[in-house]
Chains A and B, each alone.
Chain A
Amino acid sequence: MSKLFPKSANRLPLQIVIYLVVLGGIVTAATTYYATPKYIRVGYAPVQPVEFSHALHAGNLGIDCRYCHSNVEKSGHSNVPTSQTCMNCHSIIKANSPQLEPIRASYASGDPVPWVNVHVMPNYVYFNHSVHVSRGVSCVECHGRVDQMEVVRHEKPLSMGFCLDCHRAPEKVLRSPELVTKLDWVHPKGMQGQIEDGKKFVHDWNVQPPQSCSGCHR
């Protein structure tokens, strides 16, 4: 009766354990890196129908965000401007630019310009722009330095953890509502000053960001 197992089988249990530990480590690391919104969403920068440069308009020219996204303080939904808003200036400035052809076509026909949505909230999440903007959460917190972007890209993960970081410690981001569209503003006294003032805002405005499930998943 010959042997059923070679002598090397003695090492097999240890080898299996090592293999499983290594495999588990790789799977965990890969999932953590590749399967979270930090990787999946960040960097999304679709080609838009018009090469609109936020860096030029909001950065160099210094147009306030709310000139175009005019409902952001009053509405739960932040509007993308209609072509009429563009034509306020572009009926005079670069009135014949071939790049602006889709804008003029939209202005003439009344059909909206098919802008591609960059920051998409899933339907099961309730998000209200006005309540954040009018209580001093700057655009930059969720959208990044749009005033430096030639093409708008998804800068922040906007994962549930991302939302909860703020909802658990709002004093770290709250600023005076006049400053919400100043994307380059940081507290002059640094983080220390930010937290001191933030706590004051939290207290004065009775800021109670919901952390229960139904706060956002209504």
Chain B
Amino acid sequence: MAHAAESNYPTPTILQEVKPAVLPRATLVENNRSFGWVTDKICGIIEGKTPTWWWVCFVLAAIIASFTVAGLIYLVATGVGVWGHANPVNWAWDIVNFVFWIGIGHAGTLISAILCLLRQKWRTSINRAAEAMTIFAVVCAAIFPVFHVGRVWFAWYLFPIPTANSIWQNFRSPLEWDVFAVSTYGTVSVLFWYVGMIPDLAILRDRFTAAGNRLRGFLYGLFAMGWRGSNRHWSNYEMAYLILAGVATPLVLSVHTIVSFDFAVSLIPGWHTTIFPPYFVAGAIFSGFGMVLTLMLPLRAIYGMQDLITQYHIDCMCKITLATGTMVGYAYGMEFFIAWYGANPYEGFAFINRAFGQYAWAYWIMISCNVLTPQFFWFKAIRRNTALVWVLSIFVNVGMWFERFVIIVTSLARDFVPSSWGYYSPSVVEIFTFFGTFGVFSVLFLLFIRFLPVMPMAELKAVMPQGDPHGHPAPASGHGDHGAH
């Protein structure tokens, strides 16, 4: 189309005079790699021998995961009192951890849905792993509210199933909205992940079958659902993917909005604010990109994927982290402003207490990790230092956990009536259970790396320079016709 425009209309002379700068689009797969190289590279991770580091990590992760299992068995056998929360802090680490893990998942949905609709082609290198991260994070998140109900075998009461009790859930409660928000989120994330994987599973099916491993060929084939890569298949597939992206887009905003309603709909000072939904969504995407960086940078180093996850990808992720981190910092400031401007003494006290009260240490950890850390990403030199980016991403994760801790615990520990004030400290069981969820997450992620394609091969090939042979020379390609003119 751009070519046609050029031939029909003479270039305006003014443009020749001012010579608009040519802004080259970044190459998304570097070093002029071929399609075959991409397939071999990504399938090679699955087809190769299990590396020693994988086993070491897997065993370690499984041991850590056993802490969660042991903690939960002890909780079920003894009672929910083995966790440290008690009057007045009746929500503590359980909800902190729930919000923390749910928030991490948001980067996956953002990358897979919103960036897909916005045609951000750099998403292709990281979307598969980020979607996997989302699903595993939802698994870890779900553990906490489900076991917080105490008698976990009644957790199905959360779902509106008609029973002989003739009662329904309280649909006016944001906790009930949470059930639907999170279960929808989990379902759509799994669907998105799976549908996107079908062409890649077919590649693996064909490769394993050709190599004579009929069992694995059969298993991948089962989930490839007879994909042949025909024109009709691709046409349906693209449409299904687009619809799923459309369905998932509101979820990026809705899930954490509803999670924030758990607090905002209540009357506790420091919770009852209208800023919570956008503030929580920004924080969720911030923490999610922190976790994506934490996971993808080691993966890139171990498997030598510098050509697939380029410096441009890292720059993009760092910039989103910077943008959302700054939004979160703005929200922290705005909370103080509203507390002052609203002239509600309880609200004012809640925020002064956050910054200078008994949990001030947590507040300042939060501020330094969430507001100061991302500011480093303004500098190109820091973004290019992969090891440093990785360390900073860890700080983002820590900071976002502390954000939820500060919000939940400080407000409950100091509410309206001084006679009901208290101080919360976690129990050992609580600490171990949370620590173990990192093991659960890692076990799932390691299995994902070992057995499923970590990047969407088919989509990658479409955004490579080789995918656009009649388009533009290397520096300008990668974005089809919308390149430099």
Residues of A within 8 A of B (CB): 1, 4-5, 9-10, 13, 36-38, 157, 159-162, 164-165
B218 at the interface (CB under 8 A from A): yes
In the assembly, what is the distance between CA of A157 and CA of B165, in Å?
A: 11
Whether B217 contacts A160 by the Cβ 8 Å rule is no
The verdict on A161 contacting B225 (CB below 8 Å), with A1-B210, A4-B205, A4-B217 known, is no
- B residues in contact with A162, CB < 8 Å: 164
Count residues on chain B whose CB falls below 8 Å from chain A CBs.
14
In the assembly, what is the distance between CA of A160 and CA of B164, in Å?
A: 6
Residues of B within 8 A of A (CB): 163-167, 205, 209-210, 214, 217-218, 221, 225-226
Whether B214 contacts A4 by the Cβ 8 Å rule is yes
Whether B226 contacts A10 by the Cβ 8 Å rule is yes
Q: Is the interface of A mostly helix, strand, loop or mixed?
A: helix
Partner of A161, one of B165, B205, B214, B217: B165
The verdict on A164 contacting B166 (CB below 8 Å), with A1-B210, A10-B226 known, is yes
- B residues in contact with A9, CB < 8 Å: 226
- B residues in contact with A164, CB < 8 Å: 165-167
- List of 10 A-B pairs having minimum Cβ-Cβ separation, nearest first: A161-B166, A159-B164, A160-B165, A36-B164, A164-B166, A4-B221, A161-B164, A4-B218, A37-B164, A4-B217
Closest Cβ of chain A: how far from B447's Cβ, in Å?
Answer: 23
Closest to B208 in A: A4
- B residues in contact with A5, CB < 8 Å: 218, 221, 226
- B residues in contact with A160, CB < 8 Å: 164-167
CB-defined A-B contacts under 8 Å, sample of 27: A1-B209, A1-B210, A4-B214, A4-B218, A4-B221, A5-B218, A5-B221, A5-B226, A36-B163, A36-B164, A37-B164, A38-B164, A157-B164, A159-B164, A159-B165, A159-B166, A160-B165, A160-B166, A160-B167, A161-B163, A161-B164, A161-B165, A161-B166, A162-B164, A164-B165, A164-B166, A165-B166
Closest Cβ of chain A: how far from B198's Cβ, in Å?
Answer: 13
- A residues in contact with B217, CB < 8 Å: 4
Closest Cβ of chain A: how far from B187's Cβ, in Å?
Answer: 16
Closest Cβ of chain B: how far from A121's Cβ, in Å?
Answer: 15
In the assembly, what is the distance between CA of A74 and CA of B367, in Å?
A: 65
- A residues in contact with B226, CB < 8 Å: 5, 9-10
Partner of A13, one of B205, B214, B225: B225
Closest to A213 in B: B167
Closest Cβ of chain B: how far from A25's Cβ, in Å?
Answer: 15
Closest to B214 in A: A4
Knowing that A38-B164, A157-B164, A162-B164 are A-B contacts, what are 15 other residue pairs whose CB atoms are under 8 Å apart, sorted by A's residue number? A1-B209, A4-B205, A4-B209, A4-B214, A4-B217, A4-B218, A5-B226, A10-B226, A13-B225, A159-B165, A159-B166, A160-B165, A164-B165, A164-B166, A165-B166
